[in-house]
Amino acid sequence: MQINIRPGTAEDLPAIHNLVLELAEYEKAAHEFTATLEDYQRDFREGVFEVLVAEQEEAVVGMALYYMTYSTWKGKMLYLEDFVIQAAYRRRGIGEALFDAFLETAKDKGCRLVKWQVLDWNEPAINFYRKKAATIEQEWWNGKIFL
């Protein structure tokens, strides 16, 4: 089946929001997913994030949501906030095509690196990233404060 990778639009946001919910459920953290569709719509309109979507049979089955940030050591960087393919569509090459499109987007924007997080227990994701020659850092700890 044909895979179409394209920039996401405002019309795709309900499907994107549902994909993030699917990811939160997979990570056993759905109770922590509090961003509403209205939040997504406002923030997308304001340019807070961009997204690539993967379509198959005219349905959004995957997405890579990212935003520009800055590495004081390297320069411009795209941060991949979420990358998810619907469970029923995995192992069809969609994830690889979508991730490659994300990398090309970063290159087109003049970025020197891309960065993301992966849970330490998510072996399928870790293996996928390693196959892409990614460095999986284990020495940096994340810090956060909820406002």
Alpha carbon separation from 68 to 2, 23, 79, 90 (Å, rounded):
29, 22, 6, 27
Q: How far apart are CA 27 and CA 20, in angstroms?
A: 10
Would you tell me how many other CB atoms lie within 10 Å of the CB of residue 144?
5
26, 40, 70, 129: the active-site residue: 129
- 26 a catalytic residue: no
Q: How far apart are CA 87 and CA 54, in angstroms?
A: 13
Q: Rounded to the nearest 5°, which phi and psi values hold at 53? A: -120, 150
**Residues with catalytic roles:** 129
